[in-house]
Chain A
Amino acid sequence: MSETLERPDLKVVGTRPIRPDGADKVTGRAAYGADYNMPGQLVGKVLRSPHAHARIVAIDTRKARAIPGVKAVITGADLPEVASALHQGGEAASNMRDLAMNVMARDKALYEGHAVAAVAAISAAKADEALAAIEVTYEILPHVIEVEDAMRPDAPVLHPHVFTEGLEAKPDKASNIVKRSGFNRGDVAEGFASADVVVEGRYTTQPVHQGYIEPHATVASWGADGQCVVWASSQGQFMVQTYCAKVLGLENSNIRVIPAEIGGGFGGKTTVYLEPLALALSRAGGAPVKMVMTRDEVFRATGPTSGSVMYVKLGAKSDGTIVAADIELKFQAGAYAGSPVAQGCMTALACYDVANFTITGWDVVTNTPKVAAYRAPGAPIAAFAVESAVDELARKLNIDPIAIREKNAVVSGGKAPYGPTYQNIGYVETLAALKASDHYKIPLGPNQGRGMAVGFWFNIGGLSTGAIHVQEDGSVVVATSNPDIGGSRASMAMMAAETLGVPVEKVRPVIPDTASIGFSMLTGGSRTTYATGMAVVQAAERVVADLKRRAAALWDTAVENVEWKDGVATCLDAAKPDARPLPLARLAATAGRTGGPISAEASINAQGAGPGFGAHLCDVEVDPETGQVTVLRYTAAQDVGRAIHPSYVEGQVQGGAAQGVGWALNEEYVFDRDGRMENPGFLDYRVPVASDLPMIDAILVEVPNPRHPYGVKGVGEVPIVPPLAAVANAVRGATGVRIPDLPLSPPRIMAAMEKAQG
């Protein structure tokens, strides 16, 4: 259970008020993407490639167009060519040509599920009939799924224009290897030569999906005057606006995007799939078009995160000091460039102060869906390999797993492996919290094992807008342009209330559309409570300054004589003994006399986001007869800066840990020999459910970030980084066998145990 910092001066921050979105969600009133409907809307559907890699020779849509009730049929030929150019539309740069080609294939289908045509009709049945009537002539090409297969010189090449970046010699042949990246420090050979102990291993992970409950859904309406409206569930209404504009060659101002309630994103809704198609179909069909993916489509056509192959070699002195590391990461990017391997490289050793290392990453395209962001992209994968290797090192040296991490821990003032100096980090504090937990002291029984692992994520700031509008009765609306995927409405309302000095119940948080508030980068990167929260606080501070000015005007005194406290202006001017205190409601009611409506908007580029660290402890029991793993106990300690609403922060930690446990134990894409996914549903792709997990104990460690007015650090991504290895290390403890391949499914565990027993 959390014990957050005492801050007697804070009345709202750090408390646990009722969540503002709670009633709508539990009563069914919340309007998600699929809940929007327009009069006269058509049903849009997508025809998807049944082949993992195929040239599209011809698409004949004549029969489909002739079906009564079919109002529009589009293919790649109906969409504009988009130039290859990077655009900073989301968080990292995305290639707009790749984005457009992923939305709708042109000359080649690059994975099973790749969109090749789309229809809009008066009913779902008519749309299905139209899809069946479209005749696509494919030339089936050899495909490649596994990352090391795709790296071979004789592998089928997905993109003839891709030549590997980052090599010393410029390649003269196209390759599936898009890029090599990496970092070095010190002399690795010398480091290993000085080591008393060396561990080495090859580790693999499979692609896993974010597993959000709500499928992608949108309604789009193209007006006769070219003004478009899109209702969509996403992690950023401005992201949807920009990406639709780029894919369709429109101006942003002609597209108004109205954000729906979002039923989970976890990074997977930081791009577009349906929205540009719905707009194009609406233009062609002359009516609004609604599109909702099936779960099958979500799995086959939207981005999971990468599968990987990793090699880790660590060298240490007998006292546990890690003196050398040699790490190679190979990540699947899916059909287009852009796996999170660079982030994997940057985070792989981020918890460790190692004098000599080399880390190399390979970004490799494969005939699988283009990967999308998934909480702390790349970091859980790299941490699985590194934390497993550190566990092996601790076992070889007979050192406590927390002690070996303390021995090599990065601290404030030390250099991150990727270069910069760490400031105000709370890593060793999380290790101490885990060591002091009751969990760490509980003895284990037969067939049980305990694993621990640590993790890091950068957290970012960025462009954000927050607005405060004081209503006529003195209640307050706080408006921000970030969809709420993890409790940001609560934290925005609380920070606004704290700054204004009013009860949080007086503050209503809302998320307007793109035409009604200034720009914000999408919700992701653990940035919203930090960056958008900073904008909200600045807007609230402007309102307070304005209120003091208004009170001074009413009292006919200097503004310096006005104190604002607990939502009330008090006159400190000794010459005005009759000046009565002016509460916010009174100032709001008389706003016309003092200059008009009371509101302020702050648009900022927030810098100074502090990185986060987490340390997780997991106990499992492995059934020796079936290989079934039961998670007995799970504790996660994390430096969160300062928790604005501790319950939400604990929820983030618990949710990240739960997803990580699923990644470790069950989740994987299974492809058949033709490159088709065999388990595109939650019966066969098994995410953990409540009955699979114990209560996850979240310990919030608070080392405030001095760059944020309330000390916030991002919290949403760190908790998914350690669990893969924490679970794997626990299974190693329970079985006595190191299984370096995820998921740790019962058949894999049984095979490993049987092999170990000879």
Chain B
Amino acid sequence: MAHVTLNAECAAFTGGATEFDIAADSVGRLVTELDRRFPGLGEFVEQRMSVAIDGEIHQDAWISPIGPDSDVYLIPRIGGG
């Protein structure tokens, strides 16, 4: 299972917990599972978060694959100038 770490901004949805082991093979399935466990978190992630998979940041990439041992971080979306 992928090890998933949520940014502190997500903690309001999870009761404070920020680390989980989740079986999901894509970003889309990960978000769906997070929303199933913590209703509302899916939309929050969709609008405000990027997903870093094994160090690589993915934005709006629901089909990006997640490996069984991947290290996944949800971090605030990044823009720029």
Contact = CB atoms under 8 A, between A and B. Distances in A.
Nearest to B54: A421
B29 interface: no
B60 A463 contact: yes
Interface in B32-81: 47-48, 52, 54-61, 64, 71, 73, 75-81
Given A86-B47, A92-B79, A419-B73, A460 B57 contact: yes
Contact of B80 (A166, A182, A346, A458): A458
A92 B77 contact: yes
B80 A181 contact: no
Nearest to A422: B55
B56 A707 contact: yes
Given A182-B8, A607-B57, A267 B75 contact: no
Interface stretch (A108-116, A370-378, A511-519): A370-378
Interface of A: prevailing SS = loop
B55 A376 contact: no
A462 interface: yes
B75 A373 contact: no
B5 interface: yes
A461 B79 contact: no
A267 B81 CA distance: 4
A459 B75 CA distance: 14
Of the four ranges (under 10, 10 to 19, 20 to 34, 35 or more), the interface on chain A belongs to 35 or more
A711 to B, nearest CB: 15
A714 B80 CA distance: 11
A93 interface: yes
A524 B80 CA distance: 6
Contacts of B7: 183, 418-419
B9 A420 contact: no
B70 to A, nearest CB: 11
Nearest to B47: A86
A419 B48 CA distance: 16
Nearest to A167: B12
A608 B58 CA distance: 7
Contacts of A210: 81
B8 A609 contact: no
A343 interface: yes
Contacts of B73: 418-420
Contacts of B77: 91-93
A52 B8 CA distance: 35
Contact of A605 (B12, B47, B60): B60
Nearest to B74: A419
B57 A609 contact: yes
Contacts of B59: 460-462, 605, 607
A422 B73 CA distance: 12
Contact of A375 (B8, B47, B78, B81): B81
Given A460-B59, A461-B59, A607-B61, A525 B79 contact: yes
B48 to A, nearest CB: 6
Nearest to A90: B79
Contact of B81 (A182, A376, A422, A463): A376
Given A419-B7, A525-B81, A342 B56 contact: no
A91 B77 CA distance: 8
A88 B60 contact: yes
A609 B71 CA distance: 18
Contacts of B81: 210, 266-268, 270, 373-377, 524-525, 716-717
Interface in B4-27: 5, 7-9, 12
Nearest to A424: B55
Given A86-B47, A420-B52, A420-B75, A377 B80 contact: yes
Nearest to A413: B55
A526 interface: yes
A578 B6 CA distance: 64
Interface residues of B, number: 26
A377 B52 contact: no
A166 B48 CA distance: 14
* Chain A CB within 10 A, most for which of B47, B48, B57: B57
A527 interface: yes
B57 A423 contact: no
A349 to B, nearest CB: 14
B42 to A, nearest CB: 14
A679 interface: no
A457 interface: yes
B75 A717 contact: no
A343 B78 CA distance: 7
Contact of B79 (A421, A423, A524): A524
A419 B52 contact: yes
Given A166-B9, A181-B9, A419-B5, A92 B57 contact: no
B56 A267 contact: no
A93 B76 contact: no
Contacts of B71: 420-421
A184 interface: yes
B80 A607 contact: no
A183 B56 CA distance: 19
Nearest to B55: A421
Interface string A441-479: 000000000000000011111110000000000000000
A267 B73 CA distance: 27
Contacts of B79: 90-92, 270, 343, 373, 377, 460, 524-525
Contacts of A166: 8-9, 12
A343 B7 CA distance: 13
Interface string A540-562: 00000000000000000000000
Contacts of A525: 78-81
Contact of A92 (B52, B75, B78): B78
A108 to B, nearest CB: 26
Contacts of B12: 166
Given A419-B73, A420-B75, A526-B80, A607 B8 contact: no
Question: Most chain-B Cβ atoms within 10 A of its Cβ — which of A88, A210, A266, A526?
Answer: A88
A376 B78 CA distance: 10
Given A92-B78, A268-B81, A524-B80, 10 more contacts: A91-B79, A343-B76, A343-B79, A346-B78, A377-B81, A419-B75, A460-B79, A463-B60, A607-B56, A607-B59
Listed from nearest, the 7 A-B pairs whose CB atoms lie closest are A267-B81, A525-B80, A91-B79, A420-B52, A421-B55, A419-B73, A92-B79
